[in-house]
């Protein structure tokens, strides 16, 4: 079918629904299998329900469903990717189609990094008026049918809820039923999936008039009260934030104040001045909705995209809260889900561009600065996939060792850990440096899970010891220990811990000899693994009942 498969190549594609009729007629279909997310939402700390202000990213690019619609990837050169997952709470895929089902590659990448994904249900212009009249102006049966279908779609494709955007005027009958529809949709989504969300966009008012308010007020509060949050319009000033905070009361973090990165209209700041808007929002303890951060790619071009993307998010860093990984194993080779080549064990297997966000791996903290070291993506060389993590900068003359944080962790430490590190030193001073992994922990009694706003200072730094010989049951899993290839070095470590909480995983850079001058340092990190020894088994369960269908040989 043309909806689920590209008519030119037969490749499976992600799709949207264009009308109320299509929405109501939708049924699960075996042709949909490719569109179902294969990655469950990873747990992280603090959870979305914590009381600290959140950051929502709303992705809107050229109408959506571009190269990201190809579920099994494409040979796209310089595609748009998002990878600053550690700093955001919610990802919305936006388009102007009536029912925007997020392309599954986005759901897979976001879920792997612990971020829930919302689709968009939008009505606009005259067609939107007719659509709303058709399902809202009648009895509850009509709008219940729509809310049930939206919840079923999210549950079937395994994304996490909806942004609801009614951008047209409504009749008195339709607007009277709108809060009931929102409440029913929210209840349906909550029961269909754990952590499901419904967020309302600030557009139509409770009298049916289409007038953006740029705040929470008595004209739109009825919709906020019926769902999980309000995404405000973008043309606000500080007085809007003051009034919004007062009216929202204890639900102030459920207000997502809109920031248009393209800075359309009368806004505080967009582009590389987005931090001015975010600064004000955070001063009032509100959450933020960053709309169209793809500005970096669309406006500045694809040429220096990764550099510009890091600059954009780096400017926002002090207003963004980081999230901690809270489950093991942690294993990543930092692949962005794109590249100019594909690598396997440090060897280039296939040259040529590729793009597949489902293949994006767990992403680290990019906005860290330790001394003069920083992290960035490297597409020129990798251990596995399409990219590695470059750690680069200078080591100050008076410091023998510098640690740069790769991941924030928050979980009870198992009694025994195995860690692996694959790296490649670059530059003229290779023999001057040693690199290793460092874990920081705190006493179990001093850490909190759940509603946490700040973590206590770590009180122990652990440099795991080299693993001389892996235990026989893990020999295959740890086979690359001390057997690097193609210029990469592979190291395995072990660490025994007791009664403490894991807090940070860092790369520790140390000099072999003290030096009176600062020295340039560059290292590629190809893979990091943190494994709980007790849960690692000799071999994974065998795949069973494998079938192949719909074969078409070319």
State how far the Cα of 260 lies from the Cα of 258, in Å rounded to an integer: 6
Same structural domain for residues 368 and 219? no
The token duo for 393 is 């900068």
Alpha helix stretches (DSSP H) within 418-479: none
**Position 38 in a domain:** no
Q: What is the 3-state secondary structure (H, E, C) of 426-440?
A: ECCCHHHEEEEEEEE
Residues belonging to the chain: 554
- Is there a single domain that holds both residue 450 and residue 526? yes
Tokens of 80: 């748009």
The reply to whether 279 and 346 lie within a common domain is: no
- In this structure, is residue 17 part of a structural domain? no
User: Residues 400, 520: one domain?
Assistant: yes
Please list the rounded mean pLDDT of every run of 10 residues in the chain (554 residues): 89 96 95 94 94 97 96 96 98 98 98 98 97 95 98 98 98 98 98 96 97 98 98 97 98 98 94 98 98 97 95 95 95 97 96 98 86 90 97 87 93 93 90 92 61 58 84 77 87 90 94 85 96 80 87 72
Question: What's the chain's Rg over C-alpha atoms?
Answer: 25
- Same structural domain for residues 230 and 196? yes
How far apart are the C-alpha atoms of 344 and 539, rounded to whole Å? Answer: 21
The pairing of beta strand 433-443 with beta strand 460-462: antiparallel
Q: Name the one residue in this structure whose structure tokens are 């971020």.
A: 115
Distance, in Å, from the CA atom of 529 to the CA atom of 520, rounded to the nearest integer, reads 27
Within 10 angstroms of residue 246's Cβ, the number of other Cβ atoms is 11
Burial 300-329, CB ≥16 within 10 A → b, else e:
beeeebbebbbebbbbbbebbbebbbbebe
Query: Do 382 and 492 share a domain, yes or no?
Result: yes
The pLDDT score that the predictor gives to residue 449 is 40
- We report the CATH number of the domain holding residue 390 as 2.60.120.260
Instruction: Tell whether 183 is covered by a domain.
Output: yes
Cα–Cα dist 176/277, whole Å: 34
Q: Which residues lie below 8 Å from residue 59, measured CB to CB, with a gap of 6+?
A: 82, 91, 92, 93, 94, 106, 292, 293, 294
Residues 178 and 264 in one domain: yes
My answer on whether 313 and 456 are in the same domain is no
Domain boundary among 290, 323, 356: 323
Counted domains in the chain: 2
49 contact partners, CB below 8 Å, separation of at least 6: 451
CATH number, residue 250? 3.20.20.80
Residues 269, 128 within the same domain: yes
Task: State the residue range of the domain holding 364.
Answer: 330-537
Q: Are residues 384 and 484 in the same domain?
A: yes
Residue 542, domain member (yes or no): no
């Amino acid at each position: 079918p043309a909806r689920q498969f590209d008519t030119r190549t037969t490749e499976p594609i992600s799709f949207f629904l264009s009308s109320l009729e299509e929405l109501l007629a939708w049924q699960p279909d075996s042709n949909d299998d490719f569109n179902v997310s294969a990655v469950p939402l990873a747990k992280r700390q603090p959870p979305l329900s914590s009381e600290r202000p959140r950051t929502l990213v709303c992705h809107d690019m050229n109408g959506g469903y571009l190269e990201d619609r190809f579920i099994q990837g494409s040979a796209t050169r310089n595609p748009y990717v998002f990878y600053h997952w550690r700093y955001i709470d919610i990802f919305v895929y936006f388009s102007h189609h009536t029912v925007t089902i997020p392309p599954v590659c986005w759901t897979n990448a976001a879920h792997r990094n612990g971020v829930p994904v919302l689709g968009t249900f939008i009505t606009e212009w005259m067609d939107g008026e007719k659509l709303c009249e058709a399902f809202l102006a009648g009895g509850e049966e009509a709008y219940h049918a729509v809310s049930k279908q939206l919840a079923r779609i999210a549950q079937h494709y395994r994304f996490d809820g909806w942004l609801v955007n009614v951008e047209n005027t409504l009749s008195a009958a339709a607007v009277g039923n709108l809060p009931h529809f929102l409440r029913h949709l929210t209840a349906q989504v909550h029961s269909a999936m754990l952590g499901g969300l419904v967020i309302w966009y600030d557009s139509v008012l409770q009298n049916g008039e289409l007038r953006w308010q740029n705040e929470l007020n008595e004209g739109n509060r009825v919709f906020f009260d019926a769902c999980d949050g309000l995404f405000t319009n973008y043309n606000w000033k500080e007085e809007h934030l003051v009034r919004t905070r007062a009216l929202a009361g204890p639900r102030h973090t459920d207000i997502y104040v809109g920031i248009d990165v393209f800075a359309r209209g009368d806004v505080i700041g967009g582009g590389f001045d987005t931090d001015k808007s975010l600064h004000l929002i955070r001063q009032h303890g509100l959450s933020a909705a960053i709309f169209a951060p793809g500005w970096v790619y669309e406006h500045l071009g694809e040429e220096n995209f990764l550099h510009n993307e890091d600059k954009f998010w780096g400017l926002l860093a002090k207003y963004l809260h980081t999230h901690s990984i809270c489950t093991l194993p942690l294993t990543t080779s930092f692949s962005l889900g794109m590249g100019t080549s594909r690598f396997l064990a440090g060897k280039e297997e296939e040259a040529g561009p590729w793009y597949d966000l489902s293949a994006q791996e767990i992403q680290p903290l990019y906005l860290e600065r330790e001394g003069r070291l920083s992290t960035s993506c490297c597409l020129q060389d990798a251990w596995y996939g399409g990219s590695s993590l470059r750690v680069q900068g200078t080591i100050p003359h008076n410091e023998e060792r510098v640690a740069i944080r790769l991941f924030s962790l928050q979980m009870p430490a198992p009694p025994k850990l195995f860690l692996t590190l694959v790296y490649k030193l670059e530059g003229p001073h290779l023999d001057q440096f040693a690199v290793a992994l460092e874990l920081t922990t705190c006493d179990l009694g001093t850490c909190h899970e759940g509603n946490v706003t700040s973590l206590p200072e770590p009180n122990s730094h652990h440099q795991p010891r080299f693993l001389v010989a892996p235990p026989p049951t893990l020999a295959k899993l740890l086979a690359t220990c001390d057997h690097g290839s193609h210029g990469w070095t592979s190291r395995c470590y072990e660490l025994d811990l007791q009664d403490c909480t894991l807090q940070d995983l860092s790369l520790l850079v140390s000099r072999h000899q003290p030096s009176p001058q600062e020295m340039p340092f560059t290292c590629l990190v190809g893979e990091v693994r943190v494994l709980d020894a007790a849960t690692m088994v000799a071999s994974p369960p065998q795949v069973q009942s494998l079938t192949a269908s719909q074969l078409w040989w070319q």
